[in-house]
Amino acid sequence: MRKTLAVASKELRQILRDQRSLLILLFVPAFFLLLYGYALNFDIRNVTLAVQDKDRSTKSRELVSSFVNSGYFSLVGYVDAPAELDRLVDLGRVRSILSIPAGFERDLSMRKPVTVQVIIDGDNANTASTVSGYARTLINEFSGAQMQLTSPGPASRPPVPVISVEPRIWYNPQLRSTLFLVPGLIAYISMITAVVSTALSVVREKERGTMEQVRMAPLSPLPYIIGKTMPYLVISFVSAILVILSAMLLFDLPMRGSWLLLCGAIGLFLIGAQAQGLLISTIAETQQVAFQVALLSSLLPTMILSGFIFPISSMPIVVQWITHIVPARYFLVALRSIVLKGADITAFWQEMVALAIFATVALGLASLRLSREWA
Amino acid sequence: MSDLPLRAAKSAASEPGLAIDVRGLTRHFGAFVAVDDLSFSVKQGEIFGFLGANGAGKSTTIRMLCGLLKPTSGTALVGGIDVSRDPEGVKRTIGYMSQKFSLYEALTVDQNIEFFGGIYGLSRDRFVERRKFVREMAGLQGREDTLTRDLPGGWRQRLALGCAILHEPRIVFLDEPTGGVDPLSRRRFWDLIGDLSRQGVTVLVTTHYLDEAEHCHRIAIIQAGKLAALGTATELKQVFSSRPIVEIHASQPVQAMSVLDKNPNVEKTSLFGTSVHAVLKDASLDPSVLAQALRAEGIEVSSIGAVMPSLEDVFLDVVERVGAA
Amino acid sequence: MKRVLHLMKKELLELRQDPRLFSIVILAPIIQLSVLGYAATTDVKDIPLAIVDADRSTASRQLVHRFEGSANFKIVAMPGSTSDIDSYLDSGKAWMVLSIPPDYGRKVGAGRPTTIQLVADGTDSNSTGVALGYAQALIGGYVQDLAAAAAPGQPVTGLVQPEIQVWFNPRLESRDFMIPGIVALLLLVITTNLSAMAIVREKETGTLEQLNVTPLARWELITGKLLPYAFIGIIDVVLVLIVAIYWFEVPMRGSIPLLFGMCLIYLLATLGLGLFVSTISQTQQQAMMTSIFFFLTPMIYLSGFIFPIENMPRWIQPFTYLIPLRYFLVIVRGIFQKGIGLEILWPQAVALFAWGLGMLTLATLRSSKRLG
């Protein structure tokens, strides 16, 4: 125990000497949460729209108005030539086109069904499907209003079922994507910070040759590893709390659950993340390799495989299996449960166990690896 | 990129035959003065030693002379080229070996030689010739394909020297070249330096091994960034011409020192290994007087006699005097 | 020039001593692209759904049947009453709960309005929005079928019909959009890291000082450091393009040689960035943190890779012009999905090239051979 503290205090002293790195680790994460939380969202507004209005009637202008007034679309201009439309979409100036055929108003007044074309730039499939949903809804509403106006009378109407859907959204009633993204950002930033701080720690000593001296001491691998992690754990923990507090302050991130559970989840997660960095550090021979592996195992996987942005249930089964070794996945579930759902531990105890297993395995492998080297 | 040294960089006042001419060289790091108004000169073919404790300013001086660090003030002409104005010109004419023997650990002996040969632009024929020379000089025949990180200290050191002189520079700077190397290798290394000097190459060496400094033609002692003493080994030892040094082997050296310190005949004492060196105030004193004084205090004296002052004595004396000034 | 060749040879020799690095930079992109390419899908499938059918009539069972048959939904439970739904949503076992009221069948048969309740977990606002859309479309379709059955021949489908066409990606396959982005990202992450360590490593071991004493010029140092990693980068480009085009079969509507050429310009930018980071860091740890925190992460988030730039606050958008990845994303997505060529993409290409050149210049200026 005392040896562990000795290693820890030496490491701490080294950290304190590298003030630039320390400041980065403590404050940059919170700053980035501020930046990204503010900059990023999925809500789709102001979709650029070009209108090809071949009718130019009062009715067609009404339809266009309904699009513009919805707030979803932002009118770029009226365009007639198809070639020009092509060019605008190719250049990316316009993401959607509303094409109203000639005779629109006339057909409507005669109660003849008429077709209106909406063309959507599908390169971003995500936004495309939402935008087509908006367009569809707007047109349906317009259509419904027209039907009311030209209705022939109650007698001629057969008993058509009218089923309406009342959606209710829990935890995030306005579907603010910020509330969805911010926990993910927290997980991402914490993960990166934790891995980065430990990934080079052991391998640096290997490269410089100072490892030799450590081996001379009667110190077994496990206390050494724990000692090395402890200062970084404290720093990462403080940093994570700063990040969460910033999120609550600046983005109205609610806190509906227990702080104790939250700290517990953060702690487990960070231990696992740092253990991952340490494991990398014990396996790599040069700092270059350690850096490369740390990057590849944390940067993109945490972003894409953790359920941060892309729902895991939509991924192919094989990939879903792979996500089981991404600790951010579990943390995200726990975090969202505590913060947004206010759930107690019964809702996510499995995730906590998984985090604990991850941390234990990673630490174990790291000390195993180190003891083999020291032997 | 011109290969000709700038005309303007040559000072009109430089003496011919001087390889290195330093005047008032100064370097500040913020408020800290690392090198303070240093002036000295080195003749072509000399082995010039820079002696000083760690942090005295030796490495800083060498870096300035090599064009690695810009002087705060003062001038230095290396091979006739002004260091401040044409550092690149200086680099073409010198060789440099750093404290850390900067070689590429991951490369083999031959690969390192080839790399530096290429950087210095040696023609194919000349390169082959020089590579042979370096291999022989360093004793690396048969080890051409050994990884540099697997070389023992002495070989590494000689390889580093070889790589530094591949391009046959007329002036060579060696910064603590014998650190961490066994005595035999150190001896061999100094033989090589002697060879270089005989071929007319100027060698400026920094070291804190005082016994090595005896191999130098002239020595400069640097203390706290200032030039504390300059001269040949013999000239420096003249410092003690009027004050002989007596070496005493006693059973309790530390007590012996404190006894002798109180003795009116002794100027100062210092510990040399297990023996005590005492500097006498008067050359005419009979050393046995001191032995008696010691025995009177119950300290056994196994031998006592005058010795030639060593550079270590000189160094300590100079350092003390500069410190007191 | 010959000095540059010597430097390159030394660099490659040094890299060869740790063969694991080679396998990492060659294998990793392939593996990562494969896994991430499959993972990065915004398509919403198999949404876990719980249904509370308080009616249990023929009509309600018909509705339930619709949901059962839909590929978008996976029915995970049919709880008996609405009091149970809390636990499903809290634990995440179900994302949505469909609640059919007890008088549903009666009201439908009588042609009287009735309301179905959909409770959704809003934490994943993105997917929830899409999921709600699916549910509403499904119910809407069901309603139309009912109406058609009740009154055949009547124009029940509404006076104004929307016909929605999606260009470039009619299958709405999000993968086709994501994978070119991942290709760009992988190249950035790997090559920037390689070059970021290049100069700083020599600073740590002391060999940089030795190089500074030789006649090696700064531009020769930078070029000599750049080229070996450029070769590795090119190999990576070829590999990931092969995986993207032949394995994932992302439709390639544009010119492959043009894409390759653009990748080379991109490499100039990424390697230049790495070298610059190398010149401003004293240790490899600093290089790592600087490149991850101050360059890679902002680039990933603010370049338009996943989060559309149009959605960002007005005052942030101009800053995104500083990000090389932004331009390359436009280029790579444009070539893949829209098949456009240099006549449209030239501004991005020029911007990318200028960025790379600028970085390399900065790196050269910063790697002084003499300390002030």
The reply to whether C30 and C109 lie within a common domain is no
Q: What is the pLDDT of residue A40?
A: 72
Mean per-residue pLDDT over chain A, rounded: 81
Whether residue C51 sits in one domain with residue C20 = no
A299 and A187 inside one domain: yes
The mean pLDDT of chain C is 84
Residues of B with CB under 8 A from a CB of C: 1, 63, 66-70, 87-88, 91-92, 94, 96, 98-100, 102-107, 111, 114-116, 118-121, 147
Residues C22 and C83 occupy one common structural domain: no
Identify the weakest region by mean pLDDT among A336-345, C209-218, C259-268: A336-345
Give A347's pLDDT tier (boundaries 50, 70, 90). confident
- Provide the residue range defining the domain that includes C108: 47-136
- For residues C192 and C324, state if they share a domain: yes
Residues C130 and C192 in one domain: no
B228 pLDDT exceeds 90?
no
Percent of chain C as helix, strand, coil, to the nearest 5: 70, 10, 25
Instruction: Give me the residue from C2, C213, C216 closest to B96, CB to CB.
Output: C213
C301 is a domain residue: yes
Which of A110-124, C66-80, C182-196 is least confident? A110-124
Q: For residue C108, is pLDDT > 80?
A: no
| Residues ≥6 apart with Cβ < 8 Å to C11 | C198, C224, C225, C228
d(CA C342, CA A125): 24
Q: Give the CATH number of the domain where residue C113 resides.
A: 3.40.1710.10
Mark whether A23 and A68 lie in a shared domain.
no
A284 in a domain, yes or no?
yes
Is the same domain home to C239 and C116?
Answer: no
Facing residue for C209 by CB, picked from B68, B92, B107? B68
User: Could A177 and C125 be called an inter-chain contact, meaning their C-beta atoms sit closer than 8 Å?
Assistant: yes
**pLDDT higher than 70, residue B11:** no
What tokens does B209 get? 């091994």
**pLDDT-derived band of residue A201, with 50, 70 and 90 as boundaries?**
confident
- For residue C209, the distance in angstroms to the closest alpha carbon of chain B comes to 8
In the prediction, which pLDDT does C266 show? Answer: 95
CA distances, A228 to each of A359, B34, B293, C366 (Å) = 15, 36, 58, 34
Residue B259 confidence (pLDDT): 86
Nearest CA in chain B to C3: B119
Question: Computed over its alpha carbons, how large is the radius of gyration of chain A?
Answer: 29
Task: Considering only residues B87 and B318, tell me which one the structure prediction assigns the higher pLDDT.
Answer: B87
Rounded mean pLDDT, B210-229: 89
Mean pLDDT computed over A164-181: 68
Whether the pLDDT of residue A165 is over 70: the answer is no
Going by pLDDT thresholds of 50, 70 and 90, the confidence category of residue A317 is: confident
From the list C47, C167, C293, which residue is nearest A89 (CB)? C167
CATH number at residue A85: 3.40.1710.10
Asked if pLDDT for residue B35 goes beyond 90, the answer is yes
Q: Is the pLDDT of residue B261 over 70?
A: yes
Contacts of B62 in chain C (CB under 8 A): none
| CB contacts, 8 Å: C126 with chain A | 42, 126, 177, 180, 309
User: Tell me, what's the pLDDT at C126?
Assistant: 67
Query: Quick one: C202 and C304 in the same domain?
Result: yes
Pair C192, C340 in one domain: yes
Residue A169 located in a structural domain: no
Residue type, A281: S
Asked if residues C102 and C54 have their Cβ atoms less than 8 Å apart, the reply is yes
Residues C128 and C77 in one domain: yes
**Contact flag C116-A116 (C-beta cutoff 8 Å):** no
ipTM: 0.78
- Co-location of C341 and C208 in the same domain: yes
**Residues in chain B closer than 8 A to C371 (CB atoms):** 63, 68-70
Task: Please report which confidence band the pLDDT of residue A157 belongs to, taking 50, 70 and 90 as the band edges.
Answer: very low
pLDDT of residue B76: 95
The neighbours of chain B, by the rule of 3 or more Cβ pairs under 8 Å, are C
Q: Sign (positive/negative) of CA torsion B263, B265, B267, B273?
A: negative
Residue A171 resides in a domain:
no
If asked whether residues A36 and A51 sit together in one domain, one would say no
pLDDT of residue C152: 60
Rounded (10°) angle between helices B109-119 and B124-138 = 140
Q: Which of A92, A125, A156 is the last residue of a domain?
A: A156
Asked if residue C145 has pLDDT above 70, the reply is yes
Is the residue at C168 inside a domain?
Answer: no
The DSSP bridge partners found for residue C47 are C73
User: What pLDDT shows up at residue C95?
Assistant: 81
Q: Is residue C10 part of a domain?
A: yes
- Model confidence pLDDT, tens digit, residues B265-308: 888 888 887 888 888 887 778 888 888 888 888 888 888 888 88
User: Domains in chain B, start-ordered, CATH in brackets?
Assistant: 7-231 (3.40.50.300), 238-324 (3.30.70.100)
Q: Report residue B9 as tokens.
A: 């960089």
Tens digits of residue pLDDT in B113-166: 999 999 998 999 999 999 999 999 888 998 899 988 888 888 889 999 999 999
Question: Do residue C125 and residue A119 have CB atoms under 8 angstroms apart?
Answer: no
Nearest to B26 by CA among B225, B199, B324, B203: B225
Interface contact A146, partner C, CB < 8 A: yes
CA–CA dist C281, C290 (Å, integer): 8
Range A294-297, long-range pairs (CB < 8 A, 24+ positions): A294/A195, A294/A196, A294/A199, A294/A200, A294/C288, A295/C189, A295/C190, A295/C193, A295/C292, A295/C296, A296/C24, A296/C28, A296/C32, A296/C189, A296/C190, A297/A195
- What value does the mean pLDDT of chain B take? 86
